[in-house]
Amino acid sequence: MLHLRVISPSDRSAEVLHTLAAEPGATHVTLALGAAIDPPGDVIEADVARACANDVLAALTALDLVRTGGILVEPSGTMLSRAGERAEAAAPIRPEEAVVWAQLLGHVREGARLTPTFLVFLTIAFLLSAVGVATASPLTLVGAMVVGPEFRPLAALSVGLVRRDIGLVRNSARTLAISFPAAMVVTALATLLWIRLGWIGTGDVENARAFDFIYEVGPFSLVVALLAGAAGMLALVTYSSTVLVGVFISVTTVPAAGLAVVAVFAGKWNVVLSSLAQLGVNLIGIVLAGVVVLLLLQRDGRHRSVSPRRHDTATTTTEPRHPTLRPDHPIPSEDEHEGQK
């Protein structure tokens, strides 16, 4: 279930309540008259089944609430409620099969932006991978994989391609195109400093032979990237953060980039080229898998959302579950509400 919080102008509250009352997947509807201060209006809250959220959000957006009020969507957490169980049962598809596009777009847009924090995390991950290669430390390499934030813009790129959002695609591609070279340059300067200080030698790149999975491109390179991309997108849609950690560890984007930098100083150009090829395979595989998963979920959601119940309500006139919440029924003012008490 998702928790919906709407700030609605008083003259639109009846329509909001009617929308929620007409949706079997919405429950626990509450109204606080005049509770909103900025922007001013009423506060309406409800719990909505994930599979019904797209329709509800589309209807609320059509009421111009994005401009005149506000709409907040967040996971509702643990719920002990018969009404909530009935709302989930009324949904046309299971919760794990539903993609709430407004929620997903809001999440990935954050990840698509090139921020100083993103650049710092990626640079730290590259530095850790360079240290891991030079010292033959598998734990350091795993740490680099976990720290690396590169899945966020890759996921945003997948969503942008599926939704045909040119701005999102452009921002994601720009973030990747700028951040990776910048982090590699910083890693190269740091590696040069470590060599000058005598902490590592150019021959230390031979340690990478113990981790040939980092740079040797083989059939499983693409397989792993596709599987990781699919798991990562499913985890993003269902908010399974623990799965995302496994996704970070399974792909070798960051270690491959770090190894390519270190191999330059050792003059191992075959390792450089192979590492960059591994990097490209991982990036393309993750984005491609994300696109396929979203297309399948989108197609399945559209196909199964047309149930007999929804078809009947579309072709016949039905009353809301709560007759008092008709769109033409005025919401009492706060003074009237107090007087009724």
Query: CB under 8 Å to 5, separation ≥6 — which residues?
Result: 43, 44, 45, 71, 72, 73, 74
CB atoms within 10 A of CB 223: 11
Radius of gyration of the chain measured on its C-alpha atoms: 26
**Confidence at residue 314, expressed as pLDDT on a 0 to 100 scale:** 39
Four-residue CA torsion sign, 183, 185, 189, 195: positive
Burial category of 154 from C-beta neighbours within 10 Å (exposed 0-12, middle 13-18, buried 19 and up): buried
Residue 11: what pLDDT?
Answer: 92
Q: What is the rounded CA–CA span in Å between residue 251 and residue 176? A: 16
Residues of the chain with pLDDT below 70 are 92-97, 202-213, 239-250, 300-341
Q: How far apart are CA 341 and CA 336, in angstroms?
A: 9
Element (H, E) at 33: strand 26-36
* φ and ψ at residue 78, rounded to 5 degrees: -65, 135
Contact (Cβ atoms closer than 8 angstroms) between residue 106 and residue 113: no
Question: How far from each other are the two terminal CA atoms of the chain, in whole angstroms?
Answer: 32
Residues 256 and 275: beta-carbon distance below 8 Å: yes
Q: What size, in residues, is the chain?
A: 341
Check whether the bond before 39 is cis (ω within 30° of 0).
yes
Q: What is the pLDDT of residue 250?
A: 66
Closest CA to 35 of 339, 341, 331: 331
308 Cβ neighbours under 8 A, 6+ residues apart: none
Which alpha helices (H) appear in the chain, and where do they start and end? 13-21, 50-62, 65-68, 82-90, 101-112, 116-134, 138-147, 151-163, 166-197, 219-238, 241-250, 253-266, 269-304, 308-315, 334-340
